[in-house]
Each structure stands twice: as structure tokens, then as C-alpha cells.
């Protein structure tokens, strides 16, 4: 989600193969540049390859231009990579978020469609996440309120979607500090205060 001064990105950690829980502690939130991150959903191998591609491309851009790639350009780059493979698609749903002159979040589908919004969700648990965000999100929220809302939204997903589970990972991106992960204990403390089970 995007707020006035930050982007908040979050995932849970369960990795599934159909109805089988393949991994209980998978990494789905990835920093790809100083002020950019992406979340992954879908086939793990496809998603991990795309994370490596994006990290390499964004680092090359920063080394050559001495400035980070704008978020919209990063979303367009990923969109082009996916569109060129649409006949043998990467089976993924990806969010790219970042802060350049303003906060941005883009949802990028397997065929290369990229859509910017104030908040977005992917994966099998996204209908439950959207249910919380639609009713409680406000663009005037503080960063702390935004983090609490993300914890609440992903907890709703974990409660109702069998493919969602495990710990929650959250990263905050600001113009000043770039990508900063939220400490696991902070997330657990927030869940306790909100009376949510993680």
C-alpha cells in the first residue's frame, strides 16, 4: 500500500504445492534496489528467477546512471520481460513497490500487465486481504496505522485461505531511508495488541 510518505509491502511465508504445504517459512518479500522491493506469488522457481533478473537490472541501472531506476520504469521492465514470455509464461503474480519522487505500488500479472494503484494484493489469499483494505484503508493513515492494517489484512488471509500461513514479513520504503524491514518482534507485538493470532 502507498501512504503519503511511504510504501508498505508485506507477505506471509507459507509455500504450497496444490494442497501440500511445501515450506512453512518461505521468503516472498524481496528488496531489489535501495528504494524498491517486490513480493512474489505463484510458482516459486519462476518468481525467484524474476527477482534475480530485477535485482541485476536495477543494480546495473544504478551503476550506469548513478541514480535508482524509477518505480514505474522497474514495473515496465518487468512487464516487458513477462510479455515477451507470454506463450510460455512465468506463472506468477508480482507486486513492485518503491519510492522515487513519490510512493508507488504496481501489480504485474503473468502476461505483463502492469497496473498502479494505492494498494494491491496478489496470491490465493488476496480476496481476504482486499476485504480488509477496502473497508479500512485511508490515504491519510500514519505509517504505524498502515503497518497495523497490513498485519490485520494478512491475518484475515491466513485465517481463511489454506495456502496462506506462517509469520508475516513487512518492509517499509521511504525516500529518506529506502527499504527497511520491520522487526519480527515488532510485528508480533502489533498482532498481540490487535488481538490477532500469528
**pLDDT tens readout for residues 42-73:** 999 999 999 999 999 999 999 999 999 999 99
Residue 86: what pLDDT? 86
Q: Is 103 within a domain?
A: yes
Residue 82: what pLDDT? 96
The β-bridge partners of 20 are 17
Structurally, how many domains does the chain consist of?
A: 1
Domain harbouring 78, CATH code: 3.60.20.10
The x, y and z cell numbers of residue 176, run together, are 529518506
Residue 171: what pLDDT? 98
What is the three-class DSSP state of 47? helix
Residue 134: what pLDDT? 97
Q: Is 184 within a domain?
A: yes
Q: Is 67 within a domain?
A: yes
Model-wide pTM > 0.85: yes
Residue 198: what pLDDT? 82
Name the DSSP class of 25: S
Domain membership of residue 47 as a residue range:
7-191
Helix locations, 66-183, DSSP H: 71-84, 126-136, 143-160
Q: Is 196 within a domain?
A: no
Q: Is 152 within a domain?
A: yes
Residue 35: what pLDDT? 97
**pLDDT tens readout for residues 16-49:** 988 899 999 999 999 999 999 999 999 999 999 9
d(CA 82, CA 90): 7
Q: Within the chain, which residues score under 70 in pLDDT?
A: none
The β-bridge partners of 180 are 172
Q: Tell me the Cα Rg of the chain.
A: 16
The x, y and z cell numbers of residue 180, run together, are 527497511
**Spatial CA neighbour of 166 closest among 176, 154, 175, 174:** 154
Amino acid at each position: 500500500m502507498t501512504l503519503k510518505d511511504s510504501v508498505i509491502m508485506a507477505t506471509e511465508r507459507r509455500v504450497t504445492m496444490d494442497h501440500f504445504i511445501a515450506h512453512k517459512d518461505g521468503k516472498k518479500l524481496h528488496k531489489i534496489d535501495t528504494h524498491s522491493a517486490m513480493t512474489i506469488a505463484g510458482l516459486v522457481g519462476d518468481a525467484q528467477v524474476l527477482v534475480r533478473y530485477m535485482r541485476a537490472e536495477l543494480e546495473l541501472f544504478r551503476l550506469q546512471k548513478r541514480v535508482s531506476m524509477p518505480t514505474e520504469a522497474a514495473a515496465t521492465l518487468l512487464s516487458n520481460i513477462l510479455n515477451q514470455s507470454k506463450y510460455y509464461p512465468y506463472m506468477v503474480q508480482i507486486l513492485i513497490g518503491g519510492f522515487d519522487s513519490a510512493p508507488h505500488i504496481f501489480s504485474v500479472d503473468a502476461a505483463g500487465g502492469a497496473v498502479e494503484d494505492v494498494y494491491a494484493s496478489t496470491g490465493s489469499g488476496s480476496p481476504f486481504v482486499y476485504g480488509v483494505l477496502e473497508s479500512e484503508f485511508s490515504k491519510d493513515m500514519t505509517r504505524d496505522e498502515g503497518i497495523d492494517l497490513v498485519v490485520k489484512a494478512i491475518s484475515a488471509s491466513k485465517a481463511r485461505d489454506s495456502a496462506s500461513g506462517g509469520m508475516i514479513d513487512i518492509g517499509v520504503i521511504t525516500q529518506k531511508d529506502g527499504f527497511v524491514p520491520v522487526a519480527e518482534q515488532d510485528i508480533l507485538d502489533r498482532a498481540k495488541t490487535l488481538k490477532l493470532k500469528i
